[in-house]
């Protein structure tokens, strides 16, 4: 199967838009003709909706839902359009067709269907959570944030809805860590899920905010942060992470964004969940209700998710990482993208407790912590710096020697001259691998990968893989830097 020519990103997008989800493409094209701020378009839009009985019924149900709270029951499409406003009507129509189109997917294996249902429920909940987080925004911006959050992962969701033979092959590896699984899917299908999302967002003209949040994630506006948080929260509620602290931090981040405390966040999330259940009924998508779970309790974090076990060995995952970096060198010059792949995969393949990239400050006198991930490849808050001018330490050692090394016993005589207070604080009682990161033979920083205690088995093969991946990172960064 893998020997067949792979579709390009544009071919995948065209296939999804024209062959798999034509109803969504059609309604998106129709809705695009009506300006969000042109109230004179309401009668024409109402006539279009009236031609679709199911859509008309859905619009009236949503208009009369508790979230809209009409003084009198809305009984006609034209009144609903006036009451809701043209942008809300367009979003309701698009939501209805997206849910309908995906739910009508045929020829799906049971495990693929299960993943599709979960992704759809997460997306719908994420949209409502995003709107929940911006109560003081004008209605137009609320609608834009809702749509962007709901459609953020439309590429992956659409992919699983196709019934393509690839879905049956790829779902077998669904137990892999998230980042590794996404990269595996990209290597087999020939396209990243995010590329599909960008392509569909542009094809369906879903708005600049969505495209920018996918295409330029480094532009961290408040709205884009909310889109990311809402999707993270929706996913974490549906499938609680193993680490309770990570979930608690997510709630704190939402509270900080909304300027409220965590108990208030929990109350609003539950109100939003109940609203989501009500609205799914209005959209004739009640089948998704069971996937909208309440905020997890302590026992939910202790239960291990029943997932398929990954079938790739460490060596296979290393090869996949190398392929991912090589492909990235052909399409990107963004150093952060290369680092995210490297740190995330190192952590997930070898279960390092902490993987960090340290970057030079402006005058190259200090190495500062730039990016850190935990054992699951997820961002981790970690602060630290090493002076490069106040004598030797483990960072000056690795930069001077120019190649990867490992410190298994920091009390060994070899490291006596480098064990500063900062070095010992970083290593604690564990093991640390270090490697310089270079672009065209010029150091740009250091990667460290750590076990914070010595209970984790560590061998020469692991260090060889670490060294191989970090060397390949420098090679790919150098290749990418030479492209125009």
Q: Domain 9-302 sits in which CATH superfamily?
A: Hypothetical protein af1432 (1.10.3210.10)
Over the stretch 356-370, which tens digit does the pLDDT of each residue have? 999 999 999 999 999
Out of 9-23, 56-70, 254-268, least confident range: 56-70
Q: What is the DSSP string of 332-397?
A: ---HHHHHHHHHHHHHHHH--SEEEEEEE-TTSSEEEEEEEE-TTS-B-----EEESSSS--HHHH
Q: What is the pLDDT of residue 311?
A: 58
Q: How does residue 70 score in pLDDT terms, banded at 50, 70 and 90?
A: low
Numbered ranges of CATH 1.10.3210.10 in the chain? 9-302
Mean pLDDT for the stretch of residues 55-68: 88
Q: What is the pLDDT of residues 423-444, one digit of tens each?
A: 988 987 789 999 999 999 999 9
Residue for token pair 């909706």: 49
Q: What pLDDT was estimated at residue 113?
A: 92
Listed in sequence order, the residues at least 6 apart from 146 whose beta carbon sits closer than 8 Å to its beta carbon are: 91, 127, 128, 130, 131
The percentage of residues in the chain with a pLDDT greater than 90, rounded to a whole number, is: 58
Start-end of CATH 3.30.450.40 domains in the chain: 327-481
Ramachandran region, residue 8 (left: φ > 0; alpha: ψ -120 to 50; beta: rest): beta
Alpha carbon distances (Å) from 43 to 19, 36, 71, 85, 420: 31, 13, 22, 12, 74
Rg (Cα) of the chain, in Å, rounded? 25
The pLDDT value given to residue 307: 42
What band does 71 get if pLDDT is binned at 50, 70 and 90? low
End-to-end Cα distance, the chain: 35
Given this model, what pLDDT does residue 337 score? 87
Percent of the chain with pLDDT over 70: 94
Higher pLDDT, residue 434 or 73: 434
Average pLDDT, the chain: 89
**pLDDT tens-digit map of 126-160:** 999 999 999 999 988 999 999 999 999 999 999 99
pLDDT band at 273 (very low <50, low <70, confident <90, very high): very high
Residue with more model confidence, 216 or 335: 335
Q: What is the pLDDT of residues 116-129, one digit of tens each?
A: 999 999 999 999 99
Q: What is the pTM of this model?
A: 0.69
The least confident of 7-11, 25-29, 71-75, 214-218 is 214-218
The pLDDT value given to residue 174: 85
Confidence of residue 457 (pLDDT cuts 50, 70, 90): low
Is the CB of residue 145 less than 8 Å from the CB of residue 88?
no
* Inter-CA distances, 477 with 131, 330, 366, 473, Å: 39, 10, 22, 6
Asked if residue 286 lies in contact with residue 280, where contact means CB atoms within 8 angstroms, the answer is: yes
* Range in 18-22, 189-193, 303-307, 422-426 the model is least confident about: 303-307
Top pLDDT among 454 and 467 is at 467
Is pLDDT of 393 > 80?
Answer: yes
**327-481: which CATH topology?**
Beta-Lactamase (3.30.450)
Q: How confident is the model at residue 348 (pLDDT cuts 50, 70, 90)?
A: confident
């Amino acid at each position: 199967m893998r020997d067949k020519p792979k579709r390009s990103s544009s071919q995948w997008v065209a296939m999804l838009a024209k062959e798999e989800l034509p109803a969504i493409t059609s309604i998106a094209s129709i809705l695009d003709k009506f300006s969000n701020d042109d109230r004179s378009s309401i009668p024409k839009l109402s006539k279009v909706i009236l031609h679709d009985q199911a859509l008309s019924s859905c619009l009236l149900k949503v208009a009369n839902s508790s979230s809209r709270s009409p003084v009198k029951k809305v009984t006609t499409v034209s009144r609903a359009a006036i009451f809701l406003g043209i942008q809300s009507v367009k979003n309701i129509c698009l939501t209805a067709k997206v849910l309908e189109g995906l739910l009508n997917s045929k020829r799906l294996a049971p495990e693929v269907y299960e993943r599709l249902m979960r992704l759809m429920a997460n997306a719908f909940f994420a949209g409502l959570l995003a709107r929940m987080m911006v109560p003081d925004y004008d209605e137009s911006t609320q609608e834009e944030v809702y749509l962007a959050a709901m459609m953020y992962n439309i590429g992956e969701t659409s992919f699983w809805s196709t019934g393509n033979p690839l879905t049956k092959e790829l779902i077998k590896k669904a137990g892999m860590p998230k980042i590794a699984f996404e990269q595996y899917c990209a290597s087999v299908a020939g396209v990243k899920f995010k590329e599909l999302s960008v392509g569909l967002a542009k094809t369906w003209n879903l708005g600049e905010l969505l495209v920018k949040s996918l295409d330029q994630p480094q532009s961290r506006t408040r709205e884009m942060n909310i889109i990311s948080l809402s999707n993270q929260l929706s996913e974490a509620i549906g499938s609680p992470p193993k680490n309770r602290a990570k979930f608690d931090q997510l709630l704190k981040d939402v509270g900080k964004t909304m300027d409220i405390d965590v108990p208030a966040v929990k109350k609003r999330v539950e109100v939003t969940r109940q609203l989501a259940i009500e609205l799914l009924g209005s959209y004739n998508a009640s089948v998704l209700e069971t996937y909208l779970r309440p905020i997890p309790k302590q026992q939910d974090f202790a239960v291990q998710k029943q997932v398929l076990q990954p079938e790739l060995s460490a060596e296979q995952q290393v090869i996949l990482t190398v392929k991912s970096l090589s492909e990235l060198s052909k399409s990107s010059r963004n150093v952060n993208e290369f680092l995210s792949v490297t740190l995330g995969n190192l952590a997930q393949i070898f279960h390092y407790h902490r993987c960090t990239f340290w970057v030079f400050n402006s005058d190259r006198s200090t190495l500062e912590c730039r990016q850190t991930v935990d054992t699951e490849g997820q961002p981790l808050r970690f602060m630290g710096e090493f002076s490069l001018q106040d004598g030797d330490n483990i960072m000056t050692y690795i930069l001077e020697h120019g190649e990867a090394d490992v410190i298994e016993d920091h009390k060994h005589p070899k490291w006596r001259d480098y064990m500063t207070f900062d070095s010992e604080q970083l290593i604690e009682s564990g093991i640390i691998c270090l490697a310089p990161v270079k672009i065209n033979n010029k150091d740009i920083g250091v990667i460290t990968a750590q076990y914070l205690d010595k209970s984790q088995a560590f061998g020469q093969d692991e260090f060889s893989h670490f060294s191989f991946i970090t060397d390949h990172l420098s090679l790919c960064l150098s290749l990418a830097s030479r492209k125009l």
